[in-house]
């Protein structure tokens, strides 16, 4: 069912525990080791699905130290699953470095696709889906954030980014100032969870709208592209 010496990139739920594929569960059961972001978080998922498997944490701080050992396991025929706390690994989450190094060593890397907040938000946004630009998290520093926003001002496709709830009120007026007040904006909050909410407005009205949105939980922000 699984291949030897293979690194599986396994997507896990972004909230609703039922959002995991049969193939993801089979893979997590079959591999020798699960490499994860936070062992406690992944242990919760495994317990829910009654899977017992060794876990090893892998993150930005320990990735360089841990990668050689993982590559050596893979090259001796062990199979590993890489998961993150939620969604698809390596998308604003640890994993890219491991994937890159594994490919360099000729190791087989296989995706087990599933949830990702980007696509879940895009498909319910009502904004064009034929072309989009994902820019990860906006910078925490206001100067860098402005430069970043300017860098995608001309993009014609839908722009998607992750943002923390508390920074949204600060970011909203800057988006309007740089991109123009008329752009459509969609906030996709707590997708697949109890307080799931999708708010559709424009950049001019966003600061006012934010006063009525609970600034709690996880948000994906989508802005319509430049149509001029």
Phi, psi of 74 (to 5 degrees): -65, -40
The yes or no reply on residue 84 touching ligand SAM (CB under 6 A) is yes
Q: What is the secondary structure of 91-122 as a DSSP string? A: SSSTTHHHHHHHHHTT-EEEEE----HHHHHH
Q: Which of 7, 87, 112, 203 binds ligand SAM (CB under 6 A)?
A: 87
- Contacting range for ligand SAM; rule: CB under 6 A; set: 20-28, 53-61, 69-77, 81-89: 81-89
Side-chain-side CA neighbours of 202 within 13 Å: the count stands at 7
Token code pair at residue 132? 């989009």
Q: Where are the alpha helices (DSSP H) in 13-62?
A: 22-30, 39-48
Q: Which of 9, 46, 83, 93 binds ligand SAM (CB under 6 A)?
A: 93
Task: Show the binding pattern over residues 21-60: x = contacts ligand SAM (CB under 6 A), - = does not.
Answer: ----------------------------------------
Q: Report 159-218 residues binding ligand SAM (CB under 6 A).
A: 162, 188-193, 218
Of 151, 149, 155, 193, the C-alpha closest to 167 is 149
Residues that bind ligand SAM (CB under 6 A): 14-15, 84, 86-88, 91-93, 116-117, 162, 188-193, 218-220
């Amino acid at each position: 069912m699984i291949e030897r010496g293979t690194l599986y990139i396994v997507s896990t739920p972004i909230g609703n525990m039922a959002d995991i594929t049969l193939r993801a569960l089979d893979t997590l059961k079959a591999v020798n080791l699960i490499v994860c972001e936070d062992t406690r978080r992944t242990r919760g998922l495994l317990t829910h699905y009654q899977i017992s498997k060794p876990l090893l944490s892998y993150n930005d701080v320990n990735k360089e130290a841990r990668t050689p050992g993982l590559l050596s396991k893979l090259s001796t025929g062990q199979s590993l699953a890489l998961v993150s706390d939620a969604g698809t690994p390596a998308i604003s989450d640890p994993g890219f470095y491991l994937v890159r190094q594994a490919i360099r060593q000729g190791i087989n890397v296989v995706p087990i696709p599933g949830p990702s907040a980007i696509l879940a938000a895009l498909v319910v946004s009502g904004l064009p889906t034929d072309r989009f630009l994902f820019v990860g998290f906006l910078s925490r520093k206001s100067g860098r954030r402005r430069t970043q926003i300017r860098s995608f001002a001309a993009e014609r496709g839908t722009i998607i980014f992750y943002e923390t709830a508390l920074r949204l009120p600060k970011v909203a007026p800057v988006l309007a100032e740089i991109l123009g007040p008329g752009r459509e904006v969609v906030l996709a909050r707590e997708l697949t969870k109890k307080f799931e909410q999708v708010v559709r407005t424009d950049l001019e009205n966003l600061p006012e709208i934010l006063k009525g949105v609970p600034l709690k939980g996880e948000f994906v922000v989508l802005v319509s592209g430049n149509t001029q």
